[in-house]
Amino acid sequence: MKADERSTGETGPPAVPDWRAVTLAFLKIGTVGFGGGFAVVELIHSELVLKKRWLTEQRFENMMALAELAPGALTVNLLAGIAYRLGGIGTMIVATAALLLPSFLLIIFLAGAFLAWQHHPMVQSAMEGLTAGVVGLLIAVAWDLIKRAPRHWCCLAVGAAALLLGLVFPVNPIWLVVMGGAAGGLKTWIAAHTRLKGAAVPPKS
């Protein structure tokens, strides 16, 4: 086994599923993926990258970056893009509908129940507990993303700057994502320019 395969857990090229398998996988994620946003990202990664091997780690990270750039819900953007990548427009439409169906049905039921019992002390305590649980999930997902983040000094500096701006100033997250992409592109340009300059210098006699 190669070194890069050991480090990423990948043993070959991604599998190519049909639209039925993608739809069933999305239906499962939509049924058990509680918390929304980054709380579901780890579930998506586990199902589609680690278990089914439909995506490589690099492809998943690329899709995450694109989903964050697009307006709307992160998980819907991410999974719609993945479905399009796996099977085209038809698979994207069917799989995204399967993803949203469980939430659609559940929210109809829960909305009616909540409106009828929202002032009950037991319901209010349950909502507080759910909020605390989601916060814990977000912290766990954030820590996992930190562990998988690149260790280059430029990436660390961009991450620290984005954290500082997000905490101190009311910056729209889209600008933080754009800033990170621009910084990564600048790092690559500087590295390429440095290599070209080094190659252009004639060797000393």
Residues 20, 9: Cα–Cα separation, whole Å? 26
Is 79 exposed, middle or buried, given 0-12, 13-18 or 19+ CB atoms closer than 10 A?
A: buried
C-beta of residue 49 within 8 angstroms of C-beta of residue 8: no
Enumerate the domain spans of the chain. Answer: 7-148, 151-205
Tens of pLDDT, residue by residue over 105-139, are: 988 888 888 777 878 888 778 878 878 877 887 78
Return the pLDDT at 4. Answer: 41
Residues 78, 63: Cα–Cα separation, whole Å? 6
Average pLDDT on 135-156 reads 75
Q: 71 pLDDT exceeds 50?
A: yes
Tens of pLDDT, residue by residue over 10-27, are: 455 567 788 999 999 999
Residues 102, 108: Cα–Cα separation, whole Å? 10
